[in-house]
């Protein structure tokens, strides 16, 4: 098969496909328009997040047999339209779930121990010990919303702590030895920590809003390493300010670009970008001491970089076999 690679990935991806006899075209610098012009030439396309695969794109690719996204989700692909045209879709949540689990745990421990706040203060010559007294995770109830690859990976990381781990998922029977599946009512009643691990779908879009937060019996800590558009930032900021949410670790943000690559369009002057382009809720969020932010890197480790590529290559080869050796 002739396979177009629209984004750079770990070299093992191209190597494994090449070793299997497939032809790889490196289209890393091609624009979406340039790719569309030649899309009829390709049997498969490997993407990350540089552009979307929509109806127009699929209609221009009559020979397309598969679309592979080197990542966990397929939100930049018109999944229904692709499947209706017999196109196989691949993603690789197995490739970065361990990285996401570790990042989620790291954010939670940093919040509980005020590590980011304390670090900034010491660098500024402040020695505030009582103000930075932390909390212990032991004895808490950690709730996981969405118990798929990422949720399960986080639960596994919690096994060394004396915590009660519960999960809520729209699918039944997903609980395991690391997390007990409970009803939504029990979940809202017991959680000290809520960690979000859901995809971005019409059902989860803006799911974490004022109504979601107010439904919990007690104030809770919130972690989101899933998708930013699942959260209404303005409602979260209000809850952080009035104590309904005790603190938040956010690897993803509502205002991210569709490509996930940048929040700030003016990279040379971030302060100007914030002032002119970032909504008020985001600006407030950035200056709250009980918030930790990272730039959508929870699944972005050196190990996951290679693992994601290897998983995708394996799925393509398993499905379509080996090409003719050149």
Catalytic positions are 227, 256, 296
Tokens of 79: 């999944």
Instruction: For residues 20 and 67, give the distance between their C-alpha atoms in angstroms, rounded to a whole number.
Output: 18
**Phi, psi dihedrals of residue 161, rounded to the nearest 5°:** -110, 150
Place of tokens 């690789």: 92
Structure tokens at 10: 């770990």
Give the CA radius of gyration of the chain: 22
Please count the residues of the chain: 326
Q: Are 1 and 320 in contact (CB under 8 A)?
A: yes
Q: Tell me which H or E stretch contains 110.
A: helix 93-112
Write out the two tokens for 33.
């328009």
């Amino acid at each position: 098969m002739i396979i177009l690679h629209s984004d750079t990935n770990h070299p093992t991806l191209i190597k494994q496909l090449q070793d299997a006899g497939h032809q790889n075209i490196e289209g890393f610098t091609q624009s979406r328009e340039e790719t569309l012009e030649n899309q009829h030439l390709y049997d498969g396309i490997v993407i990350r997040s540089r552009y979307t695969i929509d109806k127009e794109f699929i209609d221009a690719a009559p020979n397309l047999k598969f679309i592979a996204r080197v990542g966990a989700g397929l939100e930049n692909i018109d999944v229904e339209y692709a499947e209706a045209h017999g196109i196989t879709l691949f993603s690789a949540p197995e490739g970065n779930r361990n990285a996401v689990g570790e990042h989620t745990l790291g954010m939670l421990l940093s919040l509980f121990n005020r590590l980011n706040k304390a670090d900034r203060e010491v660098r500024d010559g402040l020695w505030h010990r009582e103000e930075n007294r932390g909390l212990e995770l032991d004895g808490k109830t950690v709730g996981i919303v969405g118990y798929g690859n990422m949720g399960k990976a986080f639960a596994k990381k919690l096994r060394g702590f004396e915590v009660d781990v519960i999960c809520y998922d729209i699918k039944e029977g997903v609980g395991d030895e690391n997390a007990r599946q409970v009803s939504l009512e029990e979940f809202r009643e017991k959680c000290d920590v809520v960690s979000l691990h859901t995809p971005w779908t019409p059902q989860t879009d803006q799911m974490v809003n004022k109504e979601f937060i107010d439904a919990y019996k007690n104030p809770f800590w919130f972690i989101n390493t899933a998708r930013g558009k699942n959260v209404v930032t303005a409602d979260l900021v209000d809850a952080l300010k009035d104590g309904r949410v005790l603190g938040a670790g956010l690897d993803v943000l509502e205002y991210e670009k569709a490509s996930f690559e940048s929040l700030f369009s003016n990279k040379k002057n971030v302060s100007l970008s914030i002032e002119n382009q970032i909504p008020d809720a985001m600006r407030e969020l950035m200056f709250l001491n009980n918030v930790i932010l990272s730039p959508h890197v929870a699944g972005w480790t050196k190990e996951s970089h290679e693992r994601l590529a290897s998983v995708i290559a394996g799925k393509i080869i398993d499905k379509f076999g080996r090409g003719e050796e050149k």
